[in-house]
Amino acid sequence: MNVFKRLSAVSMIAGLSVLTACGGNAASGEVTAADGAAAVPAANAAPAGGAPVTIEFWYGLGGKLGENMESLIQKFNASQQEVIVKGIVQGDYTETEQKLQAAIAAGQVPAVVLSSNIAWARKGYYAPMDELIAGQPDFNKEDFVQTFLNQGQVDGKQYFLPMYGSTQVMYYRKDAFAKSGIDASQIKTWEDLAAAAKKMTVSEGGKTTFYGWEPMWGPGNMVDAALSKGGSILSEDGTKVTIDSPEWIDTWEFFRKSIHDDKIMRIHSGGQGWEYWYKTIDDVMKGQAAGYTGSSGDQGDLDFSVVSAMEQPGWAGAGEAKPVAGASMAGIPAQAGDAQKQAAMKWLAYFTSSENTAFWSIHTGYISVRQSALEDPAFVTFSESNPQIKIPLQQAAHASAPFQDPTGGKINDALTIAADKVQIENIPAAEALKEAQQTAQAALDKLK
């Protein structure tokens, strides 16, 4: 989502049609893109006669995540009379970025989006936030989880604010584990999980009717596992793409074999928006699979009388797991008018306050972005009776930082294509990853 629900969500898609105007959230004067795009004139959306400033906030969240977002929007709107936030729901993170690209081209942008793109920030499509942050009383920037905050910085300036943190954790049916005599606390490695999945898988007439585990479609889960095995995406000097190393090949082949040869795992792919994601969750909740690997943010959609959560395992002989933990960030388009930008910052400051980031964590499972949220009375009380809320925090303590693709998405795209070949087309990991490495290396070499 974020950062994380699909790694491909950060990829730019060109050739989009122009989006219909977004209700007057355009910039004042002219904005000239750094890459030579034509300047776009737009009207200033400053308030008249002290009327509240209405802004659009675009976000690609569905299900209970979307419900919780709308709840906080309504709470914010009722808390003051200066700003009215109008939430505009998109299909997912990718669609948000696609529509934003078209909105930028049309010069009719929302005031704030749940999306971030480092390359776009460098091109001038996003506004730096430092002065806006300085104008917010009691913002207390130091209280943010610094690893999350740092992910929103570009060339020393703050272009994006983390709204919540995420990491991929494991959810399993308690009854399925109990029936097969499996103790979740003893699953320390992926080898352990494969053995457990094989034991729980049920086949009838040569067809699997109950799967032992379901990874999530896309490269995300397999990237996490490769990093946990000691793999890296780039060499230490940043000059070589290393996704065809033995650590990567062995890891991805493990998943290919589990899905296609042993048939103890299954992948749901395709569909609209988060359809594949919710199909995976439904398999577990409806008793068609023993567990799945999903976002910490799925906790708001799960029934913990049925399931429980655990951290991702490592690999035998490789030490503790090192899955990615990152922040889903919001940005303010540079074309927004000054009044729109200031209103957007008020909304972001409200959402990321200690009380509200704790609320978000309690109701969604995502990681709070402020350290003080862990001391919030409601969070403390909730965690005592809902220990699963602590799993993402515990895993984040030994997690890997999100990969910042220096090619503007081409390395991530190569991994996404390779993941489809392994997960869906049953192509050997060595073949898929070597091709991905060559494509990604060529893109990296063009930067020299």
3 state DSSP class of 32: coil
pLDDT at 33: 32
Q: What is the mean pLDDT of residues 38-44?
A: 33
Question: Hey, where are the domains in the chain?
Answer: 7-166+326-396, 167-325+403-445
* pLDDT band at residue 422 under the 50/70/90 scheme: very high
Query: Which H or E run includes 54?
Result: strand 53-59
Summarised one tens digit per residue, pLDDT across range 159-188 is 999 999 999 999 999 999 999 999 999 999
Instruction: Confirm if 128 and 353 have CB atoms less than 8 A apart.
Output: no
Rounded CA separation 259/229 (Å): 19
pLDDT band per the 50, 70, 90 thresholds, residue 49? low
For residues 415 and 51, what is the distance between their CA atoms, to the nearest angstrom?
A: 49
Per-residue pLDDT of 439-448, as tens digits, reads 999 999 999 8
Tell how far CA 230 is from the center of its chain: 22
Q: How far apart are the two ends of the chain, measured CA to CA in Å?
A: 30
Is the domain covering 167-325+403-445 a CATH 3.90.1150.10 domain? Answer: no
More confident position, 44 or 351: 351
Q: What is the pLDDT of residues 270-308, one digit of tens each?
A: 999 889 999 999 999 999 999 999 999 898 889 999 999
Instruction: Report how far residue 217's alpha carbon sits from residue 162's, in angstroms, rounded to the nearest whole number.
Output: 25
Chain centroid to CA 378: 25
Helix, coil or strand: residue 20: coil
The CA distance from 46 to 229, in Å, is: 53
Q: Are 374 and 148 in contact (CB under 8 A)?
A: no
Please indicate whether the domains covering 7-166+326-396 and 167-325+403-445 agree at the CATH topology level: yes
Are 143 and 351 within 8 A, CB to CB?
A: no
- Dihedral (CA of 103, 73, 380, 382) sign: negative
440: part of which helix (H) or strand (E)? Answer: helix 429-445
Q: Which CATH architecture has domain 7-166+326-396?
A: 3-Layer(aba) Sandwich (3.40)
* The 3-state secondary structure of 55-124, one letter per residue: EEEEECCCHHHHHHHHHHHHHHHHHCCCEEEEEEECCCHHHHHHHHHHHHHHCCCCCEECCCCHHHHHCC
Beta pairing partners, 29: 42
The reported pLDDT for the residue numbered 443 is 98
Return the pLDDT at 183.
Answer: 97
Provide the pLDDT for residue 25: 32
Residue 228 pLDDT level (bands cut at 50, 70, 90): very high
What's the whole-number average pLDDT of the chain?
88
